[in-house]
Structure 1
Amino acid sequence: EKMGGGGGSKSAERAEAFQACTRALLDEGKIGGNCSSLFLSKALSMIVLLGGMFFKVPQITKIAKNKSAAGVSLSQFCMEICVSAITLSFNYHISAPFTTYGESFFILLQNLILVAQVSYYAQLGATRFMVGTASYAALLLFLFSDFARDVRVPAPTCEFAAGAPSCQVSNLRLQECLQAISTMIVIVSRIPQILTIFRTREVGNLAIVTWLLNLAGASIRVFTTRRELPDQLILQFAFFMSACLSAVVVGQILAFSKRKPKEKAQ
C-alpha cells in the first residue's frame, strides 16, 4: 500500500485527468475551467523546475569568486538538505507528479555544493566533513526505504465533547510526521540568517537573485500544490511559510545593501 492511503491510485487519477484535458484540447480545441487551472499549474511547475536547476548557482559562484563564505550560515544549509531529503522522500512515497517537487532534487544537489564550499572556507576539517557526509547518506537510505514509508508512530489525539477531553493514541505514518517537522525546520533554518542580518545590518555574500527565485518558486508552489495535491495540506503550509520567510530575507537584502555605501561614506 502506498503512503497516504492509496498514493498509487491517486497518481493514476491525476494522470487520467491530465490526459482527459489534453484530449479535449487536441480533439475539440476547448479548455474547461478545471483544465485551464491544471494546464496553468503544469506550466508554472515546469518554470519552477527549470529555475530550480540554477536556483543556487548565483550563491555558489559568488562564494567561489570571493573565496569567502562570510554571512552564510552552514547550519542553514545543513538543515535545508535535511528538509529536501524529507520532502523528496515524502513526495516519492505518495506518488506525487515529479513536476510538483522536482526542483527540490536540483536544489538539493546545489545545497550539497554549498555545504562543501562553506565547510572548506570555514576550515571545518576533513574528519568532521566525512562524518557528516556518511550520516547524511544513511539518512537518505532510511527515508527512501519501504520501512520508512510504512512504519507508524504512536501520537496522542484529543477531542473535547461536553466540556470533557477524550484522548486516545493514534498511529500516524512516520513520513507524515517528518514532513510536518520539516516545516518547522524550514522556519528554524531561516531564523539564524534573519537574526544575524538584523543584528549586524550586513548581508555578506547573500545573493538577492537566489532569494527572489526562492520567493517566486515557493509562491508558485502554493498554487500548484493546492491545485494538483489538494489533500496535502502539510505541503501547502510548508511552501506558504517558505514564501513568507524568503520575503523577509529579500526585504533585508534590499534594505541593508542600500545602507552600506552610506555607512562607508560616514
Structure 2
Amino acid sequence: MNFLRRRYEPFQVKHENIEHVSVGCFKSTLSKVLGLGIIGGSFLVKVPQILKILKNKSAEGINVFSVLLDLFAISAMVSYSFVSGFPFSSWGDGVFLGIQTVTIAVLVMHFSGDTVQATAFLASYLAVLFVANSGLTSVNVLWACQAMNIPIVLVSKLMQAYTNYSNGSTGQLSAVTGFMLFFGSLARIFTSIQETGDVTMILMYICSTAANAVIAAQILYYWNADAKSKDAMKKAK
C-alpha cells in the first residue's frame, strides 16, 4: 500500500498543480477580456449624455462640481496607472472616459452661459494633464491623488444624487450612461484585483460601484415616477 501511495502521490501533486495553473490562466484571460471589453465600451459610455446635452442645448440637472470631481478622479487614476506601468487593459477606459467627461464639463459651462470660462478650463486641464504624465510629477504625488479618489468618487456621485433628489428628477442625465458606468465599475473591481493588486484602485472601484448603484437606482425610480406622472396627466385630460 505504501508503495502504491508513493507512486500515486506525484501524479496527485501534478494534477493539483495543473488545476491551479488552469484556474490562474482562466482568471488572467477573463480579466484581459473584461478589461478590453470595458475599454471598447468606454468609447460610448458618456456619448449618450453628450448627445442629450447637445440636443436639448441644456445642462439642466447636471451638477458641474460633481462632473469636475469625477474628472479629477479619472485623470488621477489614469496618470497614476500610466506612471506605475500597470497593463493598459486595467485602466485604458479611463482615457476615453476622461475625454468624454471633460467634454461634458465644457458643455455644462458653455450652456450655463460662460463660454470663456469653459475655454480657459479646457486649456488649464490639458496643461495639468501634460505635467502629470510627462515625468515631471513624482509618483508619490500621483499616488496621493489616487488615494484621494476614494472620498472624491463618493462625494461627486452623492452630490449628483442629492441634486437629483432635490429636483425630483434626473434632468439631462442619460440612463444608458448611468447603467454603463455602474456595470463598468463593477467589472473593474475584478480586473484591478487580478491585474494591479493595488489596494487604492480596488477600494476606489468598490466605492465607485456603490455610488453608481445609487445613481442607477434613481434613474429607475424617477423614470417610473415620470411615466406615472405622464399617465396621470393624460387621464386628467
The residue aligned with 1:24 is none
Q: Which amino acid aligns with 1:234?
A: T
Which residue matches 2:123? 134
Question: Aligned equivalents of 2:136 and 2:112: distance in 1?
Answer: 37
Q: TM-score, normalised by structure 1?
A: 0.76
After TM superposition, give the deviation of residue 110 of structure 1 in Å: 1.0
Structure 2 match to 1:34:
24
Q: Which runs of 4+ in 1 moved over 6 A?
A: none
For 1:148, what is the secondary structure of its paired residue? coil
Residue of structure 1 equivalent to 2:53? 63
Match of 1:199 among 166, 170, 175: 166
> Is the contact made by 2:109 and 2:115 (CA closer than 8 Å) also made in structure 1?
yes
Determine whether 1:239 maps to 2:208: no
Alpha-carbon distance, 1:130 to partner: 3.0
* Cα displacement string for residues 26-63 of structure 1 (whole angstroms, at most 9, x for unaligned residues): xxxxx711001100111111110100011101111111
Distance 1:44 1:134 in 2: 33
Matched, 1:144 2:113: no
Structure 2 counterparts to residues 117-132 of structure 1, below 5 A: 117-126=107-116, 128-132=117-121
Query: What's the counterpart of residue 99 of structure 2?
Result: 109
1:78 positional shift: 1.6
Q: Secondary structure at the match of 2:207?
A: helix
Give the partner amino acid of 2:23: G
1:217 equivalent to 2:184? Answer yes
What aligned pairs does 1:152-163 form with structure 2 within 5 A after superposition? none
Counterparts of 1:253 and 1:130, CA distance in 2: 31
Residues 93, 149 of structure 1: 8 Å contact kept:
no
Q: Take 1:125 and 1:54, find their aligned partners in 2: how far apart are those partners?
A: 25
Equivalent pairs counted in the alignment come to 214
**Corresponding residue of 2:5:** none
In the alignment, the residues of structure 2 paired with residue 93 and residue 149 of structure 1 have an alpha-carbon distance, to the nearest angstrom, of: 9
Residue 134 of structure 1 deviates from its aligned partner by 3.0
C-alpha RMSD of the superposition: 1.9
**1:251 corresponds to:** 217
> Which of these residues, 53, 59, 83, is aligned with residue 43 of structure 2?
53
Q: Which amino acid aligns with 1:103?
A: D
Aligned to 1:83: 73
Taking the aligned partners of 1:180 and 1:87, their CA distance within structure 2 comes to 9
Amino acid at match of 1:208: A
Unpaired runs of at least 5, structure 1:
1-30, 151-172
Q: Which amino acid aligns with 1:51?
A: G
| Separation in 1, partners of 2:35, 2:224 | 33
1:12-31 to 2 correspondence within 5 Å?
A: none
- Quick one: distance in 2 between partners of 1:129 and 1:71? 18
Q: Is the 8 A contact 1:85 1:143 kept in 2?
A: no
The answer to whether the Cα contact below 8 Å between 2:61 and 2:167 also exists between their aligned partners in 1 is: no
5+ long unaligned stretches in structure 2: 1-20
Distance in 2, matches of 1:110 and 1:130, equals 16
Deviations 1:192-221 (A, max 9, x none): 211111222111111111111101110100
| Higher strand fraction (1 or 2) | 1
Name which of 72, 82, 87 aligns with 1:97.
87
Q: Name the TM-score, length of structure 2 as normaliser.
A: 0.85
Say whether the 8 Å CA contact 1:83–1:186 is kept in structure 2.
Answer: yes
> How far 1:131 sits from its partner (Å)?
2.7
Cα deviation for residue 144 of structure 1 reads 1.4
